[in-house]
Amino acid sequence: MSSLAGRFVVLGVSGGIAAYKSIEVCRRLVDAGAHVAPILTESAQRFVGAATFSALASEVAHTSLWADPDRIPHTRLGQSADLILVCPATARAIAAYRMGLSDDLLTATLLATRAPVVVAPAMHTEMWEQASVQENLTVLAERGVTIVPPESGRLAGGDVGAGRLADPATVVDAAHDVLAGRPYQSHDGGHGSEPSGSVAPGTDLAGLRVLVTAGGTREPIDPVRFITNRSSGRQGHAFADVAAARGASVTLITTSGLETPPAAKVVRVETAADMHEAVTARWPETDVVVMAAAVADFAPAEQADNKIKKADGWDSIELVPTADILAGLGSSKSAGQILIGFAAETTDVAANAQKKLVSKNADLLVANDLTEAGAGFAGDTNRVLLLSATGEPEQLPLQSKHDVAAAVLDRVVELRRSQT
């Protein structure tokens, strides 16, 4: 039998374009046997009609603290509820709930309940990425609220990005899981939350500003030629994907033409000097740096304005060292900032990586052996040795670059927990 059968579910609808999808959520909850009591905020009613919910739900839709047939509607609804599901949850509804405001029927009911609460946010990408929104969700998740993260896709007005309400079936599954006392498993396959007291799926990096560098830099010799390396950018882009999917506000500084996560801010660079400038400018406002780029250690001292001709003769190129970006960040790190370095080696992997961890003052160092099959620049897999400034080295299995990123970001979550 469905865990929803016979259960009293308050369905809170706040005012966003995704309110229309909540009609489908309502229908699915009723079909699963739940008693559904809808509450529509004033702005929700600008998008959908209370009559629609009244017709589909188990009782008339509630719209006001004051004009309701119930004498004290928020306490009746809050106390009767086995579950409150806010879908869609706007940035305002999330902020009000986090703050404990009770200025309308929905927020008052959220305060007047001991029932578990599921929140399904939906908003434009810029709003979703705001530190305030992410921080509010993190706090709610820490209080045991289950967050059903939005998806990436087409938004109102034709924009594309993160913030689209999760599929109604996914939202109802979350309600189902919570009522069954199961940790909700996000549809992206990972990071389910505990029923209470832990960070929710898809949002365990919410509020974190993560800067990722990716790809090999290109150091021009003349307008035609450059010096570069074999880095594809795949591992860095996988970090950006996974961090964004887990709620971080991601800036990706990349030399690669690979696809970028829609929610990330992308800065395209070419040279080590460009990358240095782009990273250091953002460093003070960054919590975690993932320095996955293969930065050239040397660049031509001069770039010729015109193509160098064979007839000009060419016996050497004078090279000058580039700035070590990671070492520079490591020497100016503030409390709480986390630095992740990389080491792609062909010999003495562990020893070389350990030296880099220390000399660059990184918190984590992700090392791989380029001579191993399936590890390194090309391809979608990697096998890395993870070194930490505070713990034991850990050899991770051969796995997809996304799974490597997820495992390393799990360590970031642990590190941050240990810092507080």
Residue 293 contacts ligand CTP per CB under 6 A: yes
Confirm if 163 and 122 have CB atoms less than 8 A apart: yes
Confirm if 246 and 202 have CB atoms less than 8 A apart: yes
Instruction: Please say which residue, 128 or 342, places its beta carbon nearer to ligand CTP.
Output: 342
Find the part of the chain contacting ligand CTP (CB under 6 A) among 109-117, 162-170, 342-350, 395-403: 342-350
Copy the structure tokens of residue 19: 């309110």
What's the min distance (Å) between Cβ of 352 and ligand CTP? Answer: 6
Those residues whose C-beta lies under 8 Å from the C-beta of residue 327, and which sit 6 or more positions away, are 359, 360, 361
Q: Is 98 helix (H, G, I), strand (E, B) or coil?
A: helix
Residue 234 contacts ligand CTP per CB under 6 A: no
**First-to-last C-alpha distance (Å) of the chain:** 43
Query: Residues 303-322: x/- map of binding to ligand CTP (CB under 6 A)?
Result: -------------------x
Q: Tokens 């780029």 identify what position?
A: 293
Interface residue with ligand CTP, options 77, 179, 253, 325 (CB under 6 A): 325
Residue 356 contacts ligand CTP per CB under 6 A: yes
Task: Classify residue 81 by its DSSP letter.
Answer: -
Confirm if 127 and 155 have CB atoms less than 8 A apart: no
Residue 291 contacts ligand CTP per CB under 6 A: yes
What's the min distance (Å) between Cβ of 277 and ligand CTP? Answer: 13
Active site residue 229: yes
Interface residue with ligand CTP, options 86, 94, 326, 415 (CB under 6 A): 326
Residue 343 contacts ligand CTP per CB under 6 A: yes
DSSP code per residue over 114-161: -S-EEEEE---HHHHH-HHHHHHHHHHHHTT-EE-PPEEEE-GGG-EE
Residue 85 contacts ligand CTP per CB under 6 A: no
Residue 295 contacts ligand CTP per CB under 6 A: yes
Question: Catalytic positions, please?
Answer: 229
Binding site for ligand CTP (CB under 6 A): 272, 291, 293, 295, 297, 322, 324-326, 341-344, 356, 360
